[in-house]
Structures are given as structure tokens and as C-alpha cells.
Amino acid sequence: MRALKRSEDIRPVTDLKSHGADIIRQVENGRAVVLSKHGRAVAVVVSVEEYEDLQESADRYALQRAVEQAETELDAGQGVPHAVMKKKPAARIPGKD
């Protein structure tokens, strides 16, 4: 995503109705549009590709945080040994059928 140009990329939400095609064109050219209402940012319009990339990044970040939390718990002796988990029935583990 390109750097925000305040003079071009922040637009009142009313521009959606009167300049919708221009906003879409700008987004298709790789520039996000910040929509404002009463001078405050209320939404950001990005391309579907950019949105998907942001979602993937958020998912990777969440996974990394979960791994870090698990490592912290293991370091503190709060983990469950592999041998114990291996004995648990798969049906009791979420996501396993």
C-alpha cells in the first residue's frame, strides 16, 4: 500500500455518492482512501487484494502471538507433556473429528 497523501486520499464520505468511480479508480491504482465524516476518519477503502493481504498478515500475527504465549507458558512450566497429550482421545481436541 502506498503512503497516504492527505490532500488526495482523505475524502468526505459524501464523495462516495458524487465521486464513487474516482474513488474506485484510486483504490484500483493501489492507493487507499480514508473516508471522513465531520472531519473524523470513519472508514478506509482498499482493494480486495490489499484487504486479503491485511487479513493474512493479521492471521500470521495472531499465530505468532499464540506461539509466543505458548513458549512463555512452557518456559514457566505450565505446559502439558507430549506423552500426556498423546494419550488424550482425539475427539476431545477441538478441530479433530
CATH of the domain at 32: 3.40.1620
- Give pLDDT, residue 9: 86
* Number of structural domains in the chain: 1
0.95 exceeded by the pTM? no
User: CA 97, CA 89: separation in Å to the nearest integer?
Assistant: 10
Is-contact 45 21, C-beta < 8 A? no
Q: Is residue 37 part of a domain?
A: yes
Using alpha carbons, select from 55, 1, 56 the residue that is nearest to residue 30: 1
Range of the domain at 23: 6-46
- Give pLDDT, residue 1: 64
Residue 35 Ramachandran class (φ > 0 left, ψ -120 to 50 alpha, else beta): beta
Q: Is residue 52 part of a domain?
A: no
Q: Is residue 86 part of a domain?
A: no
Q: Is residue 76 part of a domain?
A: no
Q: Is residue 69 part of a domain?
A: no
pLDDT along the chain (97 residues), means of 10: 72 93 94 94 94 94 92 87 77 61
Q: Is residue 61 part of a domain?
A: no
- Give pLDDT, residue 18: 95
